Amino acid sequence: MSSANVEPRDAEPRTGLSPRQRSQRSRAIQYAILVVIVLVAAFTADWGQIATVFFKPSLIKSAFESGLPTAFLKTIEYTIGAFVIGLLGGTLLALMRLSSVGPYRWIATVYIEFFRGLPAIVVFVAFSLLPLAFANLVIPFDPYGTVWSALGIVSAAYMAEVIRAGIQAVPKGQLEAARSLGMPLGLATRKIVLPQAFRIVLPPLANDLILLVKDSSLVFIIGTSAGDFELTGFGRDLANTESNLTPLVTAGFCYLIITLPLGLLVRRLEAKAARAR
């Protein structure tokens, strides 16, 4: 083909926008839509009514005086107890899932799939009905025992998969080196594998902790007394009494006081893990 028949590529004039210009225009349109939505909401909302229903100062003060700090502490206590049970149970299930013994693997698999497939509220209801099925059953430290068990059983199923992935991420050479030095399998797992696995899975475990904080709101299912209310139970009870949503909104902000620092911790752990890789 002779060069005379080839037309220069720049000879054809460019039409339309470049990809960068299209992206900028799309972003500008989205910002404009958001601004319009915010302005419409700002000028059409009845801010006085919103403040009265959701942010009434006298009810915020009343909530703190009526026991909101106690409900805040109850939420933390329920969450920490359930997290410890979930972590211990999840570690055991993860080791059973990775075991070379078939029945261990089958039991762990059935447990994990069963409780991951059930809504947590169903487990809470089941626990609340256990005394009807077993007349002589006494759950120790009730209501803590009931809450910790119900939340811990569900969270163990999720944590087991997280911990199993962490164990599998540890190079096999680490365990083989320990065994070659004469270290028993159990000791090598406890001293060599598990510490590295938990370092790997810290961010997802922190995420599970955040979920547990929110799942603790299911405590109302078991019908605790007012003195054992966590944040949601306390806020709902006071909101019903006052016919106003301010106590419930105040309880919601208390959840954020717990979960936002945990979310920040998760991001920092993930960034640290990314730098380590």
| CATH number among 1.20.140.10, 3.40.109.10, 1.10.3720.10, 3.30.465.10, domain 60-276 | 1.10.3720.10
Separation between Cα atoms, residue 194 and residue 93, nearest integer Å: 13
Contact 196, 135 (CB under 8 A): no
Average pLDDT, the chain: 86
DSSP assignment, residue 99?
-
Contact 73, 199 (CB under 8 A): no
Contact 157, 116 (CB under 8 A): yes
The 10s digit of each residue's pLDDT in 125-170 is 888 787 777 777 777 877 888 889 889 999 999 999 999 999 998 8
In the structure, what pLDDT confidence band is assigned to residue 20 with cuts at 50, 70 and 90?
Answer: confident
Q: According to the model, what pLDDT value does residue 114 have? A: 93
Q: According to the model, what pLDDT value does residue 10 have? A: 52
The 10s digit of each residue's pLDDT in 190-241 is 888 888 888 888 888 988 999 999 888 888 777 677 778 889 889 888 898 8
Report which of 11, 79, 116, 66 is spatially closest to residue 241, judged by C-alpha positions: 66
- The model carries a pTM of 0.81
pLDDT at 244 over 70: yes
More confident residue, 80 or 2: 80
In the structure, what pLDDT confidence band is assigned to residue 9 with cuts at 50, 70 and 90?
Answer: low
To the nearest 10 degrees (0 to 180), the angle between helices 246-276 and 202-215 is 170
